[in-house]
């Protein structure tokens, strides 16, 4: 079962059980997936004009990695909203956004620990021979595909800066 099917099953389940927050969060996520698929289909049509409808639908389906990126984007939006709501002293909205974030995190791959992140980062730095903060871009370019979706980019950036500035 792919990630989209799992989300759809959980959406149906929350509809039956009446979990309103889970339902609204998953509806928004499913809608975002649909929009991204439409965007992908449009690009595919422009590139390959002679596809049949079935081939077009198949090529426009999002892969799990693309859905994970979409979920990470949705989580990032909620974190930005949380900081704004905190500035406005809106505890009720902060709580809602935090709960939505937790619901979305269920669909991400298992997150890696700080220790594992440091080890992978050190190995990558040694592999490419990075020695200063000037090499940060090269390190990030090499490192991100290995850990994509398993840790936040800001955390990765922080660890890389820390290790390169030693």
Burial class of residue 139, CB neighbours in 10 A (0-12, 13-18, 19+):
buried
Residue 86 confidence class, pLDDT cut points 50, 70, 90: very high
User: Is pLDDT of 80 > 90?
Assistant: yes
Domain range holding 61?
A: 3-105
What DSSP assignment string belongs to 127-157? HHT--SGGGHHHHHHHHHHHHTTTS-HHHHH
pTM reported for the whole predicted model: 0.78
| Interacting residues of 145 by C-beta distance below 8 A, sequence separation 6+ | none
User: Is pLDDT of 166 > 80?
Assistant: no
- How far is Cα 75 from Cα 29, in angstroms, rounded to an integer? 10
Higher-pLDDT residue of 53, 100: 100
Residue 8 confidence class, pLDDT cut points 50, 70, 90: very high
Q: Are residues 8 and 86 in the same domain?
A: yes
Q: Are residues 11 and 88 in the same domain?
A: yes
The per-residue pLDDT for 150 is 83
Q: Are residues 15 and 83 in the same domain?
A: yes
Over residues 88-109, the mean pLDDT reads: 94
């Amino acid at each position: 079962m792919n990630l989209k099917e799992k989300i759809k099953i959980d959406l149906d389940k929350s509809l039956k059980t009446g979990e309103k927050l889970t339902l609204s969060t998953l509806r928004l996520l499913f809608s975002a997936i649909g929009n991204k698929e439409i965007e992908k289909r449009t690009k595919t049509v422009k590139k390959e004009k002679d596809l049949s409808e079935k081939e077009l639908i198949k090529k426009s389906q999002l892969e799990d990695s693309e859905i994970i990126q979409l979920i990470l984007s949705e989580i990032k939006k909620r974190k930005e909203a949380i900081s704004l709501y905190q500035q406005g002293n809106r505890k009720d909205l902060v709580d809602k956004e935090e709960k939505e974030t937790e619901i979305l995190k269920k669909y991400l791959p298992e997150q890696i620990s700080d220790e594992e992140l440091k080890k992978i980062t050190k190995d990558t730095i040694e592999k490419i021979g990075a020695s200063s903060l000037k090499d940060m871009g090269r390190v990030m370019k090499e490192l991100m595909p290995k850990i994509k979706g398993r840790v936040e980019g800001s955390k990765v950036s922080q660890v890389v800066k820390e290790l390169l500035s030693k």
